[in-house]
Amino acid sequence: MLIITPFCLNLHLFMPSHRVRSPEDFDPAILARGINPNWLNDALTATGTASVRRRKMPAERVVWLVIAMALFRRQSMPEVVAHLNLILPDEINPDISASSLTQARQRLGEEPLALLFGLCAAAWDERHQRGQSWRGLSRYAVDGTTLRAADSPENRAHFGAQSYASGVVSSYPQVRAVTLTALATHLVREAVFGEYGKNEMRYAHDIIEQIPDNSLTLFDKGFLSAEILLPLQQLGRQRHWLIPAKSNTQWERLSNDPHDYRVRMKVSPQARAKRADLPEYWEARAIEAITRQGQKRILLTSLLEAEKYPASEIAAQYSERWRIETSYREIKQAMLGDEITLRSGTPERVRQEIWGALIAYNLVRLEMAEIAKEAGAAATDLSFKMALRYLLCEWSWLALNSPGTLPKKLLNQRNRVGDLLLAGRRRGRECPRVVKAQPKRYPTRKILKTDLK
C-alpha cells in the first residue's frame, strides 16, 4: 500500500476513482489520521459512552468536536460542526443548536477524552522516541502551568483563583496543571490538572508513576524532594532524574572531585511520615556547571556513573529543559491565540475541554514530527505556528472537498516544508526569568448626589 508522507495518508482512499464522500459516511477520523479508530472505540466502550441509538451527533463525533474546539478557537460550537461537516444528515431538522451540542458534551463526559489522550500520547511518543535518545535514555521534562477558565460560579467554586497580598483576586478561575513533555518532539506524554490551590508537588506524584523506563527526566528546582525523586529510582527500570540544587540544599560530600562529586542528603521527617518506605538518607551526584550568563549552577542527578554519563553532557542536557516552557507557550498563545480563556462553564466540561486541547496539540506535534522525519530535520526546528496554519487549512479542506485531488494538495504542502523551518537563532537561546507585575486595584471614586443632578 502506497503511503504519502509526511501526513501518512493511505493514497488508495483518495484516488480520483474513489467516490466523493457524503455527510452520511464522512469519517471525522481524517481530521486526526494518527488516531487509530480502535483507540476511540476502546475509549467509548470502556467508559460506557458509546452511542446506542442514532443521533445527529453520536459520541464519536462529539469527541472530534471537543478536539476541534481547541483548533478553531474563534468559532462557536455550531460553527465548528458546520465547518467540519460533523453532523449526520437529518431531513426534518438539518441544523443543530448550541444547547444540543452542550447536552451532547455532557453525555460524553471527560473520561473518554482522558482515556483517548493516554492511548494516543503513549503510542505517538514511543514512535518518535526512536533515534532521539541520549545514551540510551529518552528525555522528558516535568513542570507546571496554569490555564484560565471561564468565570462562572461553578468554575470559581471548584478550581479557585489566585489571590495577592494586596487582597486582589484573579479575575478568572485558574486550573493548575503538571505535564510530562518529550523534549525531542514537545509531545505531551502525561498530564494531571485540577484545583489551583493544590500544590504542584502533589500533582507531580501522579506524573511520576507514568514516566517510561529507560528515561531521563528534567525537573525545575521546585520539585527537589526525596518524596518525588526517589520513587523514580526503582531497581531495573532505569528511570533517572536531573534537577538543579536549591541555594539552601544541604548535603555531605562523599568524594573529593571539585566539580563532579557524590553527595548524601537527609530525607526530611515530613517526607518519611508520608512514605514509610523512604530511607533516612539518599545519595546523588552533584555537577557544578556554568550557565550561559556565567553563573555557577549545581545540578543533582541519579546518573551516578561518571564514565558512562559525562558531566559536560549532563549539563548540556539540562539546558534543554526550557523546551517544556515553549510547549506551554505554543498551547496557550499559538494554539489558543487571543482566546486564552477556556470556553466551558462547568468543571467537568472544563476538564473535557483541556483533554481535547491536549489531544489537538499532540496532533499538530505528531504531524510536525512526521514532517521533520521526512525532511531529515529535528521536530523542534519547525515552526509550530506555521504547522498549525497548514494543518487547519488541510483539515478544513478535507471536510469540504472531494478526496480525489488530495494527493496534489499534500505534495504541494510537502514541497513547502522549508516554510516551517525556524531560523538558526532559535538554537541555544536563553529566556531569562523575570518577576511578573502584580495586578493593581482599579481606582475607585464615590458617586455623590451632586453628580447625579
pLDDT in tens, 348-397: 999 999 999 999 999 999 988 988 888 888 888 888 988 888 888 777 76
In a domain? residue 444:
no
What's the confidence (pLDDT) of residue 190?
97
The three-class DSSP label of residue 153 is helix
- Number of residues that make up the chain: 453
368 and 307 in a single domain? The answer is no
In a domain? residue 154:
no
In a domain? residue 146:
no
In a domain? residue 23:
yes
pLDDT tens, position by position, 253-273: 998 888 999 999 999 998 898
32 and 107 in a single domain? The answer is yes
Task: Round to whole Å and give the CA distance between 46 and 39.
Answer: 10
Q: 269: how many CB neighbours lie within 10 A of its CB?
A: 9
Extract the C-alpha cell encoding 232. 523514580
- Beta-carbon contacts of residue 72 (< 8 Å; ≥ 6 apart): 79, 80, 83, 84, 392
Task: Round to whole Å and give the CA distance between 154 and 166.
Answer: 25
10 and 103 in a single domain? The answer is yes
pLDDT tens, position by position, 93-103: 557 888 889 99
Average pLDDT, integer, range 31-51: 78
In a domain? residue 164:
no
Extract the C-alpha cell encoding 409. 494538495
Range of the domain at 371: 3-112+343-426
More confident residue, 6 or 365: 365
Structural contact between residues 63 and 116, judged by C-beta atoms closer than 8 angstroms: yes
373 and 281 in a single domain? The answer is no
Q: pTM to 2 decimals?
A: 0.82
Number of helices and strands in the chain (H, E): 14, 11
Structural contact between residues 150 and 157, judged by C-beta atoms closer than 8 angstroms: no
10 and 102 in a single domain? The answer is yes
350 and 301 in a single domain? The answer is no
Identify the CA nearest to 42 among candidates 122, 96, 105, 98.
122
273 and 361 in a single domain? The answer is no
pLDDT tens, position by position, 90-141: 644 557 888 889 999 999 999 999 999 999 999 999 999 988 899 999 999 9
- Cis peptide bond upstream of 269, omega within 30: no
Identify the CA nearest to 186 among candidates 328, 14, 315, 290.
328
84 and 17 in a single domain? The answer is yes
Task: Round to whole Å and give the CA distance between 318 and 295.
Answer: 15
20 and 78 in a single domain? The answer is yes
Q: How many distinct structural domains can be found in the chain?
A: 2
Q: Which residue, of 265, 288, 320, is where some domain finishes?
A: 320
For residue 280, the Cα-to-chain-centroid distance in whole angstroms is 36
DSSP symbols for 347-410: HHHHHHHHHHHHHHHHHHHHHHHHHHHHHTS-GGGB-HHHHHHHHHHHHHHHHHS-GGGHHHHH
CA separation, residue 295 to residues 234, 289, 366 (Å) = 33, 8, 36
314 and 354 in a single domain? The answer is no
Strand partners of residue 421:
382
In a domain? residue 401:
yes
DSSP symbols for 168-203: -B-SS-EEEEEEEEETTT--EEEEEEEETTS-HHHH
314 and 348 in a single domain? The answer is no
7 and 83 in a single domain? The answer is yes
In a domain? residue 373:
yes
Which phi and psi angles does 194 have, rounded to 5°?
175, -140
In a domain? residue 445:
no
